[in-house]
Amino acid sequence: MTRLLPHPGLSALLVAMWMVMVNDLTFGTLFLGLVVGIGVPLFTAPWWPGRPHVRFLPATAYVGMVLWDIIIANFQVAAIILFKPNRDLRPAWLTIPLELTTPEAITVFAGTISLTPGTVSADISACGNYLLVHALHAPDPQAEIAKVTARYEARLLRIFV
């Protein structure tokens, strides 16, 4: 089973993406989707060694939470752009210490930070232990770092195990 499906999550995602792209729910498209979904992970597995195990239920909840946060933060940043004069703006660089270790988990964490408006991840330290983030308005950088760590990193630590 693991030899035929080295990466069941990627297979499911590829089948779903194929169906969405073809936009047609028939046996023929599902069959072709399955061929892609089983074939691609099978042939690319050798180039993806040591990947972490992903727990899907918390991952789905995480995607939902991030989508909600994006909507809320959009309104906050829109308010900043429209009503806050530049002299009251407090942009700051945040150095976030990372507990995540796998490249996959750190990539998802950095992507989440960039997608939630108000913060953009700019760089990672060469040793991989710190993430450099630019915040549009952070009067209290330490509180912002604590918020991001508690809300996103703590959940990602439970997803990528």
Partner 1 sequence: MSGGGSLAEWLVSALIVLGGSFALIGSWGLVRLPSLMERLHGPTKATTLGLGAMLVASVAWFHLVDGQWTTHEMLISVFLFVTAPISANLIAKVHLHRLRHGEAAEPVGPAGTPAPPSSGIDWATHEAPHEGTPGDLVGD
Whether 122 and 111 have beta carbons less than 8 Å apart is answered as: no
How would you label 43-60 residue by residue, b for 16+ Cβ within 10 Å and e otherwise?
A: eeeeeeeeeeebeeeebe
Among 78, 150, 154, 161, the residue binding partner 1 under the rule CB under 8 A is 78
CA-closest candidate to residue 137, choices 61, 56, 81: 81
Nearest distance from C-beta of residue 53 to partner 1, angstroms: 19
**Cβ closest to partner 1, residue 34 vs residue 73:** 73
CB atoms within 10 A of CB 37: 24
Residues within window 98-157 making contact with partner 1, judged by CB under 8 A: 103, 110-111, 113-115, 117-118, 120-130, 132, 134, 136
What's the CA gap between 156 and 139, in Å, rounded?
Answer: 26
Residues 43-72, mask of contacts with partner 1 (x by CB under 8 A): ---------------------------xx-
CA-closest candidate to residue 13, choices 53, 49, 40: 40
**Cβ closest to partner 1, residue 65 vs residue 124:** 124
Among 2, 28, 86, 142, the residue binding partner 1 under the rule CB under 8 A is 86
Q: By CB under 8 A, name the binding residues for partner 1.
A: 17, 19-21, 23, 70-71, 74, 77-78, 81-82, 86, 89-93, 95, 103, 110-111, 113-115, 117-118, 120-130, 132, 134, 136
